[in-house]
Structure 1
Amino acid sequence: MNRYDDLLQDTIDLHCHVDLEFSETLFRKRGPEDEWLPAAERSGMRGVVLKSHLWPTVSVVPFIKRLYEGPVEVWPSITLNGATGGIDLWSVEAAYHQGARTVFLPTWGSVNDLRNGGFHRRLADAFEWFRPERLCVQRVIDDGGKPTDDVRDLVRFCRDHGLTLATGHVSWQESLAVAEEAATAGLDRLICSHPLSNSVRAPLDAVRRVAELGAYAEVCWTNIAPGRKDPAEVVAAIREIGLDRVVVATDYFTGAVPQPSDLFRLTLGTLHDAGLTAAEIHRVAAENPARALGLE
C-alpha cells in the first residue's frame, strides 16, 4: 500500500447514491453495488450510507447484502422528496422499521433547489412529466424563519429512534434553523449536507455556527472536483469550521467518476495533498462519520 491507500482504512462514506436510482438507463453509475463493494472491502472501508433521490434504499439494501456478504456495512436511508411523501413522519417511521440509518431532508424537492438551479434541472431535462413548479415546493421553515411543526417532530423522532438527520438541498438559512432546533431538542446526529456546494452556498460564518451548535458540516468530492473550489481553500475552511465537526464523503452519483472506493481515495488524497494530515483525514473520514451515525 502507498500513503493514499492507507487513507481509506476504516472510513465511512455517508453520501453514496445507489446505482439503479431513476431508471435502467438514466443517471446510472459505474456499476452495481455487488461489483464495487468488494473493491471497497479490499481498500479497508468500514461502510457506506446508500442514498437515493427518489426511493428509500431500505427496499434494496437487503437484496444487495445477499449479493455481497462481506464486512463492508451498507446502511439504508430515506430522502424526503415528494415521491416519498415529503416531510412526513409516517414515511420516516416505516423506513426506520426497515432499517434506515439516515434521513435526508428534501433534495430536488426543496424550494431552495428550485431557486438555485440545483439537481431538479437535470430531472426536468430527462423526464417528460417532471414538473418543478409542482414538485419542488418543500420548505423546512415558516415565514418567521422557524422550523415547521413537521420538521420539529422529525428532529425529535430522529433523536428518539437513533437516526441521523442530513439537510439535503435545503438552503443554508434552513439548515441553520434545523441545527438550532436540533441543539434545543438534543439531537447530536445532524449533518449539514455539502454547505459549500453551489446549490446551498452557505457563507463560512453560517457553517461555523452550525458546527458550534453541534452539527457536522459535510465536504464532498463535488466541492473539490475540477472546476469547483480550490482544494487548499476547502482545507482552510475545514480547519476554520473545526476538524471535530467536519465529515468528508463522496456524494458519488455520476457514471463519469470512478467507483465509490476509488472516488473516496481520490477525494481524501486530494485533501491530503492540499494540506490535511493523515491523522486529520482519519478524523474527518472515519472517526467523525462513525460518531455521526452513532457507532463506536
Structure 2
Amino acid sequence: MAELAEVLQGAIDLHTHPSPDIVPRSQTIAETAADFTAAGFGGFVAKSHVASTAGLCAAYSTGPQARAIGSIALNRPVGGLNAAAVEVAALLGARVVWLPTVDSRRQREQAAAAGPAPVWADTQAELARTPGYGPPVTVLEDGGVLPALHDILDIVGEHNLLLATGHLDCEEAFAVIDAAAEHGIERIMVTHPDLPRQRITPDAQIEMARRGAWIERTMASVLEGKLPLGHALHGIRACGTGSTLLTGDLGQPHNGPIIGGLRRWAAALNDAGFQQEQIRRLLVANPNEALSGGF
C-alpha cells in the first residue's frame, strides 16, 4: 500500500459530493480537503445537484493544500440550460459543467423505477413537486441540441472547462459530444455510463471514446452493486486507459470518507494487474489533463 500511496501523489477526484447539501453527506468540503491534503492528493471536484459549488470551493482553495474545485450542474434550481449561471460559475472558479443530472429527461422518467434509490431521491422528488419547479431539462430538439445548449458550449469553450454529460441517455450523449466538437471543445466526460438508466452500451462507450470523450467509471457504482467490478475493469481495458476517468462519486453517508474512492480504485487496479504507470495515468494524469491546466 505504501507504493500505491506514492503512485497517488497528486491524484484528483473529478466527482465528489461533500456537504453543504440538501441531503446528508459523509463529509464537508473542509473535511474532504483536509483528507486530500494529508494524503498528498491534488484535489477534488465538489458536485451538487442543486447549486454551483464554485463560491464555496474558492474559500477552501488557498495555500499549499489540495484544491476544492467548483462545478455546476444544470438542473432546475440553477435555471436548467442557463448560460448566465455557467458564466458566473466559471468566473468564480468552477472547472466542470455537468449537463442535467437529477432533472434530465431520462432521470425524471426513471424516478419511480425499481432498484436501490440514490440518497437524494426522496428529497429531489419533494423538491420537484414545488409549484413552478418545472419539467425535465431537455437538451435535444428535432434531433439536434437546443440553441440554449449552444450558448453554454460557447462558454465552456471560452473558459476551457470540462463538460460532463450528466444523466443523459445514449442518444443525448452522442448529440452533445458531436455538438461540443463543433465548438472546438476537447474535454468531455461521459458521466457514469454504466448505470442502466442511461442505456449507454459498452459498444456505444467505445465509440464515444473513439470520438474523443473520456468515459467515467465511479467507485460508488461498484460499492452499491450497480456496476460489477469485473465489468468496470473490462470497460477500462476496452475503452483504453487514455480514454478513462476513474472517480469516487462518494459522499453518501453509508460509503465512508470521500477520499476512499480513489484509494479503492488504486487497490482494485493493482489487484487486477494494472501497472503502476497505468494506475497513475488513470488517477493522476488523466484527471489533471481533463481540467486542462485550469486547475
Task: Give the TM-score, by structure 1 length.
Answer: 0.89
Corresponding position of 1:131: 128
1:56 partnered with 2:52? yes
**Could you list the runs of 5+ residues in structure 2 that have no partner in the other structure?**
none
Once the two structures are TM-superposed, the CA of residue 203 in structure 1 deviates from its matched residue by 0.3
Which residue identity is paired with 1:16? Answer: T
Aligned residues between the structures: 289
Corresponding position of 1:82: 76
Once the two structures are TM-superposed, the CA of residue 121 in structure 1 deviates from its matched residue by 7.2
Three-state SS of the structure 1 residue aligned to 2:245 is strand
Three-state SS of the structure 2 residue aligned to 1:139 is coil
| Ranges of 4+ aligned residues in structure 1 off by more than 6 Å | 118-121
The structure 1 residue matched to 2:193, chosen from 187, 191, 195, is: 195
Corresponding position of 1:38: 34
Q: CA–CA distance in 2 between the matches of 1:2 and 1:159?
A: 39
The structure 1 residue matched to 2:215, chosen from 202, 211, 217, is: 217
CA contact (8 A) 2:29 2:68 kept: no
1:278 partnered with 2:276? yes
Corresponding position of 1:13: 13
| More displaced 10-residue stretch of structure 1: 148-157 or 160-169 | 148-157
CA contact (8 A) 1:110 1:136 kept: no
Alignment of 1:92-171 (within 5 A): 92-117=86-111, 123=120, 125-126=122-123, 129-131=126-128, 135-142=134-141, 144-171=142-169
Q: CA–CA distance in 1 between the matches of 2:43 and 2:123?
A: 31
Q: CA–CA distance in 1 between the matches of 2:222 and 2:56?
A: 30
**Could you list the runs of 5+ residues in structure 1 that have no partner in the other structure?**
none
Three-state SS of the structure 1 residue aligned to 2:254 is coil
- Aligned-pair identity (%): 27
Cα–Cα, structure 1 residues 46 and 257, in superposed 2: closer, same or farther, change >3 Å? Answer: same
Q: CA–CA distance in 2 between the matches of 1:58 and 1:36?
A: 16
Cα–Cα, structure 1 residues 274 and 150, in superposed 2: closer, same or farther, change >3 Å? Answer: same
Which residue identity is paired with 1:176? Answer: F
Once the two structures are TM-superposed, the CA of residue 16 in structure 1 deviates from its matched residue by 0.9
Which residue identity is paired with 2:30? Answer: D
